[in-house]
Amino acid sequence: MTQSALTEIQTSYPLDAIRADFPALHQQVRGKPLVYLDNAASAQKPKQVIDALADFYRHDFANVHRGVHTLSERATGKYEAARDRVQRFINAACREEIVFVRGTTEAINLVAQSYGRGSLQSGDEILITAMEHHSNIVPWQMVCQQTGATLKVAPINQQGELIMEAFERLLSTRTRLVAVTHMSNALGTINPVEDIISLAHAQNIPVLLDGAQAVPHLPVDVQALDCDFYAFSGHKLYGPTGIGVLYGKRELLEAMPPWQGGGEMIRKVTFEATEYNVLPYKFEAGTPAIAEAVGLGAAIDYVESIGWQAITQHEHDLLAYATAKASDIDGLRLVGTAARKGAILSFILKQVHPHDIGTFLDHYGVAVRAGHHCAMPVMDFFQVPATARASFAIYNSKEEVDILMEAIQHIIEAFG
């Protein structure tokens, strides 16, 4: 692409129009315009998503898959259309590979309990990395306790990058599954998942990717990646809470036992025996998050209407701008400086505890997260109790980065 074409994309990014779509952004916090930089925890919702939810509840709501009446048929049609939408979004081979769950956490627990619990034995190993969110650590610890399997952890370096040689050495004939985050929530690191998958597959080891942070920021094609499982949440993708996705390769999902029992996941029940439903319903026990699935479909439409090239360019520019400004601040240390990073800036200040940074920034109307970000082992590795984290999204601007950096300067001055 020529420089002028690139500049065209940069200058034509419809930031004002995007911001206008998000009602929650247009409010004052403590007398200052809200600067929302806690997107890695959860993103705000555009009116297209809010309207889709409200319209669904106003006109179409009923339970799914069970009624012969019109509303139930309509609700079922919309719920299943959302599944088709997700299938196209991540380019899954078929709709049966899309299981609706509550979120990334539930998706990983489902794999741990269904895929892991039934097949793992003492001596088997699960391989994760040192930068995982607790939801890609604890479910594996639990299944290891249940089965006698062992959890192995591939180390990271001081930039917060996975050490690939160490990862490769930890892959063994005992490894039954590799579970790795696509993008780290605490550091921003984007992992070389293509390499991870080809190394694992060379030894016939399936790979689960935790896509909670990646899905809102980069295009994901599960067939091109050839990952075996992919998990993500709707709420970080400008969609509702309570809805997420487990993608699994069909042959793996077919072979896995159900995780939860109840309505919807069965074909026939007697007190003697129960016959399970087909994919994906086998894994969707109980009344699902129907309106939320419809809202997720609307969120996907919204993101794709902006386009990945525009989104990735805009967020890349924001990160570069914020990183350069942060690097100029005396006493600020960035935690997570990987060569390949998403738009997340984790940092600490010499004299101020991260929780105080978060509280003081709130006085400037700036919302960041302060804490361990559900990645305590990452904090231990960098020998910090916590970090402050600014995480950017499609609606953030360079002016907001300026406000953040000025507020940080004020905090440093105040703490002397």
State the catalytic residues: 374
Given 37, 97, 103, 125, the residue binding ligand 7TS (CB under 6 A): 103
Q: Does 181 bind ligand 7TS (CB under 6 A)?
A: yes
Q: Does 348 bind ligand 7TS (CB under 6 A)?
A: no
Residue 387: beta bridge partners?
A: 371
CA dihedral 371, 372, 378, 379 (to 10 degrees): 60
Which range binds ligand 7TS by CB under 6 A, 25-33, 98-106, 332-340, 376-384? 98-106
- Amino acid identity, position 412: I
Give the residue closest to ligand 7TS by C-beta.
185
Q: Give me the 143-172 binding string for ligand 7TS, x by CB under 6 A, dash otherwise.
A: ------------------------------
- Distance from C-alpha of 26 to C-alpha of 35, rounded to nearest angstrom: 9
Q: Does 104 bind ligand 7TS (CB under 6 A)?
A: yes
Which range binds ligand 7TS by CB under 6 A, 114-122, 210-218, 276-284, 346-354? 210-218
- Distance from C-alpha of 79 to C-alpha of 63, rounded to nearest angstrom: 10
Count of beta carbons in the 10 Å neighbourhood of residue 130: 20
CB nearer to ligand 7TS: pick between 175 and 181? 181
Contacting residues for 142 by C-beta, under 8 A, at least 6 apart: 112
Q: Are residues 136 and 375 in contact, defined by beta-carbon separation less than 8 angstroms?
A: no
Q: Outline where DSSP puts E strands in 214-259.
A: 229-233, 244-248
Angle between helices 398-415 and 354-363 (to 10 degrees): 120
Apex 104 CA angle, 99 and 110, nearest 5: 55
Q: Are residues 342 and 190 in contact, defined by beta-carbon separation less than 8 angstroms?
A: yes
Q: Give me the 28-47 binding string for ligand 7TS, x by CB under 6 A, dash otherwise.
A: ------------xx------
Kindly identify the residues of this chain, within the stretch 363-382, that bind ligand 7TS according to CB under 6 A: 369, 373-374
Instruction: Tell me the site size for ligand 7TS, rule CB under 6 A.
Output: 17
Q: Does 212 bind ligand 7TS (CB under 6 A)?
A: yes
Please report how close the Cβ of residue 347 comes to ligand 7TS at its closest, in angstroms. Answer: 15
The residues that touch ligand 7TS, with contacts defined as CB under 6 A, are 40-41, 103-105, 133, 135-136, 181, 185, 210, 212-213, 233, 369, 373-374
